[in-house]
Amino acid sequence: MDNNSKNRWVDEALDSINNAYRAMPDDALFNKIEQRLNVPFTKKKVIPLRIVSAAAACIIVLIMTNIYTIYIQKGSNVGRDGAQSVAAYYDINNTANEIMGL
Amino acid sequence: MLPEELLLLTSQGDKNAFRQLYEMFNSRVYNTCLYYLQHVPDAEEITQDVFIEVYHSSAKFRGGSSVSTWIYRVTVNKCLDKLRYNNRQKRFAFVSSIFNRDTGALQHDKPDFNHPGISLENKEKAGIVLNAIRQLPENQQTAFILKQVEGVSQKEISAIMDLSEKAVESLLQRAKANLRKILGDFYNQNEGLDNN
């Protein structure tokens, strides 16, 4: 595969769209446009991307704060609650309290 | 009648002037849409959107540029918006109902596009070039389509894209270089193309 034949093929490929003629839309397209023009025009309200991004960032921060709070809350209780529930299950409350230093 | 006059009459509600304006620009708008979107129904939809925008915004046209430049600018913006929308749809396709149960094909994948203005003998090669154009960055696509396909002057492209002429020239050079690279890679991956 030599570079000349590759370049020739690339040139031919690029030329293939140079010789194209302009495509014409369907004759009925103008009627469709007229029909749409007869419908009362209401311009869509576009919300700027900046506001959407800011709202998304706020929601993410809120969710992360909630998750963090739950995590911290659970982390402080998990040792004691876990040990006490196991102790209660096996009815060894005193031993558990000794282990926990209570 | 000049496009500026037709636009003025359109802004006063003259439907006949609007029709003449449509006749004057419909093939340019539709053809540009076809090269961007490479999908006939999408190109028709955006052509409608462009002319509806032209009709409703005709009163706001201040004549800072030619009507042709303004209509091309509306067309380019609408096409790029549609392309971005299509890309978003594709990205989320796998989350929503991705697969068509009958064929297993991705619902948002569009079939290969055949430009109606390209002769039969060039269809295959043109299809490869169109695919390559789709891989270019947006601004390179715009510069290339307007220059190579629509034959718009570099000065008008700079007005449409709101860039300097030098910047447009640079975009065109990069677009051509990238296209040559993409097509060259395609050639390397498909040995025997040289026999066609």
Find the CATH number of the domain harbouring B130: 1.10.10.10
- The phi-psi region of residue A42 (left if phi > 0; otherwise alpha if psi is between -120 and 50; otherwise beta) is beta
pLDDT for residue B87: 85
Give a yes or no: residue B107 inside a domain.
Answer: no
pLDDT value of residue A90: 73
pLDDT exceeds cutoff 60 at B107: no
Check whether B136 has a pLDDT greater than 90. Answer: yes
B101, B121, B148 - which closes a domain: B101
Length of chain A: 102
Same domain, B20 and B84: yes
Report how far Cα B68 is from the mean position of its chain's Cα atoms.
Answer: 15
User: Within an 8 Å CB–CB cutoff, is residue B129 touching chain A?
Assistant: yes
Q: Is residue B70 located within the same domain as residue B124?
A: no
The domain boundary, picked from B101, B129, B155, lies at: B101
Asked whether residue B33 falls in the same domain as residue B64, the answer is yes
Residue B28: CATH number of its domain: 1.10.1740.10
Cβ neighbours, 10 Å, residue B162:
9
Compute the Cα dihedral for B119, B172, B50, B130 and give only its sign.
Answer: positive
| B190 vs A: CB within 8 A | no
How large is the average pLDDT for residues A32-58?
A: 85
Residue A58 in this model has a pLDDT that exceeds 60 = yes
Looking at the complex, report in whole angstroms how far the Cα of residue B102 sits from the nearest Cα belonging to chain A: 31
The owner of tokens 């929308």 is B85
Query: How many structural domains are present in chain B?
Result: 2
Domain range enclosing B137: 112-196
CA separation for the pair B78, B152 (Å, rounded):
18
A-chain CB neighbours of B15 within 8 Å are: 34
Q: Residue B44: list chain A partners with CB under 8 A.
A: 25-26, 29, 32
Judge if B134 and B96 occupy the same domain: no
Q: Is the CB of B173 inside 8 Å of chain A's CB atoms?
A: no
Domain boundary among B71, B101, B131: B101
Instruction: Verify that B75 and B169 share a domain, yes or no.
Output: no
* Same domain? B87 vs B20: yes
Cα–chain center distance at B51: 15
Contact A29 B130 (CB under 8 A): no
Q: How many domains, chain A?
A: 1
B10 with B79, same domain? yes
Q: Are residues B72 and B160 in the same domain?
A: no
Give residue A13's domain range.
3-100
Fill in the amino acid letter for B62: R
What pLDDT does residue B102 have? 54
Amino acid at B145: I
Contact A25 B30 (CB under 8 A): yes
pLDDT of residue B69: 94
Show residues of chain B in contact with A28, CB under 8 Å: none
Alpha helices in A1-102 (DSSP H): 3-18, 29-38, 49-89, 93-100
Cβ contact, residue pair B184, A26, below 8 Å: no
Dihedral of alpha carbons A74, A76, A77, A79, sign: positive
Same domain, B7 and B52: yes
ipTM score = 0.78
Chain B partners of A4 at a C-beta cutoff of 8 Å? none
- Which pair of tokens denotes residue B139? 């601004």
User: What's the pLDDT tens digit per position in B4-45?
Assistant: 899 999 999 899 999 999 999 999 999 999 999 999 999 999
Residue B49 scores a pLDDT above 70 = yes
Domain membership of residue B193 (yes or no) is: yes
**What average pLDDT is seen over chain B?**
86
